[in-house]
Chain A
Amino acid sequence: MEGIQEKAGEIKSVRADFIQEKHLKILSKPLISKGTFYYQATQSLRWEYTSPFQSILLMHNGKIKRYIKGSEGFMQDSGVKLQAMQVVLQEIALWLKGQFNDNPNYNAVLEPGPKVVLTPKEKSFAKIIQRIELLLSNQPGVIKTVCVYENDSSYTKFIFKNVRLNKPLKDSLFQEIQ
Chain B
Amino acid sequence: MRRICVLFLLTILSISCSSAQRISPVGKPLKLAEIQEECNRVFPTEKWVFIHSIEANFPGEKKTFMLGVSQIFPEKKKIHCIMMTIEGLVVFDALYDGKIVINRGIPPFASENFAKGMISDLQLIFFQPKGQLIETGVSDAGEWICRYQDKKWATVDVLIHLDNRWTIRQYHRHQLRRTIKAYLKQDSVLLYKNRIPERLELIAHGVSGYSLKLKLVEAEPLSE
Which residues of A does B touch, CB under 8 Å? 20, 22, 24, 26-28, 31, 33, 47, 49, 52-53, 55, 66, 68, 70-71, 75-81, 84-85, 88, 128-129, 148, 150, 154, 156
Report A95 CB to chain B, min CB distance, Å.
15
Chain B residues in 8 Å Cβ range of A33: 86, 88
Which residues of B does A touch, CB under 8 Å? 49, 51, 53, 55, 61-65, 67, 69, 71, 80, 82, 84-91, 93, 104, 106, 108, 213, 215, 217-218, 220
Beyond A26-B82, A128-B106, whether A52 also contacts B91 by CB under 8 A is no
Q: Are B53 and A84 touching (Cβ within 8 A)? A: no
State in angstroms the CA–CA spacing of A128 and B69 once bound together: 19
Complex: chain A residue closest to B104, CB-CB: A150
Pairs across A and B, CB under 8 Å, 22 listed: A26-B49, A31-B67, A31-B218, A52-B53, A53-B86, A53-B215, A53-B217, A66-B65, A68-B55, A70-B55, A75-B55, A78-B64, A79-B62, A79-B65, A80-B64, A80-B108, A81-B64, A84-B85, A84-B89, A85-B87, A150-B90, A156-B88
Chain B residues in 8 Å Cβ range of A148: 88-89
Q: Are B69 and A68 touching (Cβ within 8 A)? A: no
Between B51, B88, B93, B217, the greatest number of chain A beta carbons within 10 A of the residue's beta carbon is seen for B88
State in angstroms the CA–CA spacing of A148 and B85 once bound together: 13
Report A56 CB to chain B, min CB distance, Å.
11
Cross-chain contact of A81 among B49, B62, B85, B217 (Cβ < 8 A): B85
Beyond A26-B82, A53-B53, A68-B55, whether A78 also contacts B63 by CB under 8 A is yes
Chain B residues in 8 Å Cβ range of A76: 63
Chain B residues in 8 Å Cβ range of A53: 53, 86, 215, 217
Chain B residues in 8 Å Cβ range of A20: 87-88
Chain B residues in 8 Å Cβ range of A129: 89
Report B217 CB to chain A, min CB distance, Å.
5
Report B80 CB to chain A, min CB distance, Å.
6
State in angstroms the CA–CA spacing of A31 and B90 once bound together: 13
